[in-house]
Structure 1
């Protein structure tokens, strides 16, 4: 994945299992499926309730304590809300000008407010109900036809 700029993590990160250069713990995760079981086992081995796993240049902070999770989600939410920049997201969103891909900040808050007040208002939702219902019916019909033709494989 290409990055517009490399961001070094600020501050001290929680303990992490030893990883490979460049790819971090990605190899370990792929070799120890399912990944969530491996993550929990690694955290038990490290004897910690908060840990860090590195997948290439992305740091994944995991929490197994409800008290720590509550603190993270209630008090540190803005620190974790931002998204890393990438070349592909920049192209798709025309310079991060869409709510889904833009970075957390004043611009994102304004876009979210406009989306909620204008696009998700009861008036607009009732105006688009027929179109949304028709599209949902089309998707269900499409998936049903794929299942009849044998094009869908069961995953799991």
Structure 2
């Protein structure tokens, strides 16, 4: 007899919960309905809350390619709460990156970039402004100018020759070759020699390779806060945020060792080292100028 009142009370509580959930979803859908007619690009049907995420399969690039065949070279999608413009032709890409580059110059805030790059303070993810212009200028002058690219030609040739020799030796031994891993390793060697002045991916010293691989993998991890800002707190419980912080700490420790190394060696070794790493040398010179200006 006492069971019936308990069941009735539970049913009433369930009804209240379902009504509250229905009210919340209705308010959400009502808020998402635009007040006026907007001239937006074509868009496939979307679902409440998740937007167009259900259109993406295990291979998102193929899913987007299939959608572009149906809806054209420019589409407007909602990934959760994030409005996204998808272009899939050279003409549309030119409109975005060249004709209207200032309009699309900012990047959306990404959790991984904010944690790994000290608040997205890098060339790729930083917001458009004075800092981004100076960072881009430094990269162009110290790494991407014609003179710099030509000066690093011997590095590229040496590393590619080493790669070809490794593949040749493996073929003679009839051993299997993990070409993807070898290409990543060669790319890392070229990058570290050009930027940091020496290799950091050898058989006995592959710290840079491990850190860089974990950094790249972290950007493929799902952060709910990127798609649903109000649910960002869940990322702390799923382990995503702690993992990103651990990778950031590991990367900072490695880069601190690289930056401090020239300061801990003799003047001759430091000069030789920085001469082989013009980008790192430029950063040391900039730090010295900033210290001198503060002293004045």
**Fold in common (TM above 0.5):** yes
The alignment of Structure 1 onto Structure 2 pairs a total of residues equal to 138
In structure 2, distance between residues paired with 1:131 and 1:32: 35
Match of 2:75 in 1: 51
The structure-2 alpha-carbon separation of the partners of 1:143 and 1:102, relative to structure 1 and needing over 3 Å to count, comes to farther
- Deviation for aligned residue 1:81: 2.0
- Deviation for aligned residue 1:51: 3.4
For the 8 Å contact 1:26–1:55, the answer to whether it is kept is yes
The structure-2 alpha-carbon separation of the partners of 1:67 and 1:131, relative to structure 1 and needing over 3 Å to count, comes to closer
In structure 1, distance between residues paired with 2:136 and 2:167: 32
Structure 2 alignment gaps of length 5 or more: 1-35, 181-296
In the TM superposition, 1:50-69 aligns within 5 A as 50-62=74-86
Match of 1:28 in 2: 55
In structure 2, distance between residues paired with 1:119 and 1:76: 26
User: Could you tell me which of 62, 66, 73 is aligned with 1:37?
Assistant: 66
In the TM superposition, 1:68-83 aligns within 5 A as 71-83=95-107
In structure 2, distance between residues paired with 1:135 and 1:122: 20
* Alignment TM-score, normalising by the size of structure 1: 0.61
Of Structure 1 and Structure 2, the greater helix share is in 2
For the 8 Å contact 2:53–2:79, the answer to whether it is kept is yes
The structure-2 alpha-carbon separation of the partners of 1:121 and 1:80, relative to structure 1 and needing over 3 Å to count, comes to closer
Match of 1:116 in 2: 140
- Deviation for aligned residue 1:143: 7.1
- Deviation for aligned residue 1:38: 2.4
- Deviation for aligned residue 1:22: 3.1
Match of 1:130 in 2: 154
For the 8 Å contact 2:78–2:84, the answer to whether it is kept is yes
Match of 2:118 in 1: 94
Greater radius of gyration (CA): 2
Structure 1 alignment gaps of length 5 or more: 1-10
Partner-residue secondary structure (3-state), 1:113: helix
* Alignment TM-score, normalising by the size of structure 2: 0.36
Match of 1:103 in 2: 127
Deviation digits for residues 65-91 of structure 1 (CA, Å, limit 9, x no counterpart): 988766555442212121111221122
For the 8 Å contact 1:13–1:52, the answer to whether it is kept is no
In structure 2, distance between residues paired with 1:50 and 1:121: 33
Partner-residue secondary structure (3-state), 1:79: coil
